[in-house]
Amino acid sequence: PGREAVRPAPYTENLTPPHQILKGFCGYVSHPSYDWADVCLERFGAAPAQICHPWNTFAHLAEFEARPTRRPFGYDELEAFFAQADERAHDLLEGRKKGALPALRDAQFFKTVYAFGLRRREAVMLDLNDLRPNPYVPEWGAYAKVQVRYGKAMRGSPPRRRTVLACPEFAWASEGLRYWVEEVRPRLAPATDALWVSARRTRMTTRTVDHRFAQIREAAGLDPALTLHSLRHSYVTHLVEFGYAAQFVQEQVGHNHSSTTAIYTSVGDDFKNRIFQEALRRVLGEGETA
């Protein structure tokens, strides 16, 4: 009596959940880049390890709440965008004007972002040695895989890595990548191992690619709501429409959770109608209708 009850501060959704803080700390002390494990083994006979896993932490709901205006390109829009990028490069080459090589670079950069489902920074930070062969398609040479070293990081963790396979539907992008690396890029005499270099022989910046994307989009007369990240949305959507398994798509784009991949997916009516017709044939029998 006479003592006021001490009430805990109300929880708000802006606070980081305690298990995420603990997960970040454990990831830090157990990361192989540091020598904490060796020191602890020497002094205590045991090493720190990650103790927060999907099965003992809060269920994930969504990494990314997509705004209604953010959407993938339609097939016609995608064709118009790439056609405009190619036309811009062709006109500069034909007129032997300054900026022809950067225009060729821009066209192939955006095709690579789409064909491998890359985030903006992931693409900008690629080096030549991040291009890898695939023994199942030796004819594609060193352009059959992309090793992403600067993937989106979880809080308190280093950038995540993943390997993205070139899919047969996008073989044209791998051929374009070969042309860029072997024919065009050397003419810029780059002073860096970066895959995408500027006219100043240095790595391209994210600001530059945003600016070039906006130029091409406006010249093609496309919806201003389309962003560079919309190419990644398009990649996810089109892989699903091509019939790739959800787990494969999730691994390709580096999502931790299938719910995030689902948010990125916006399949068209043709795909849904095809799936529905296949279900009718499977349930009602070949050649029968409802």
pLDDT in tens, 79-112: 999 999 999 999 998 888 888 999 999 999 999 9
Fold of 75-225: hpI Integrase; Chain A (1.10.443)
To the nearest 10°, report the CA torsion of 96, 124, 165, 158.
Answer: 170
What average pLDDT does this structure show over 112-135?
95
Asked whether residue 63 carries a pLDDT value surpassing 60, the answer given is no
Write out pLDDT tens, residues 178-214: 999 999 999 988 889 999 999 889 999 999 999 999 9
pLDDT given for residue 157 in this prediction:
77
If you average pLDDT over residues 28-48, what whole number do you get?
A: 83
More confident residue, 102 or 154: 102
Domain boundaries, the chain: 18-56, 75-225
Out of 17-31, 63-77, 214-228, which region has the weakest mean confidence (pLDDT)? 63-77
Query: Among candidates 46, 48, 53, which has minimal Cα distance to 31?
Result: 48
Question: What mean pLDDT, rounded, does the chain reach?
Answer: 82
171-173-179-180 Cα dihedral, nearest 10 degrees? -150
Whole-angstrom Cα distance, residue 218 to residue 231?
Answer: 16
> How many Cβ atoms from other residues are within 10 Å of residue 68's Cβ?
6
Q: Which residue has the higher pLDDT, 54 or 16?
A: 54
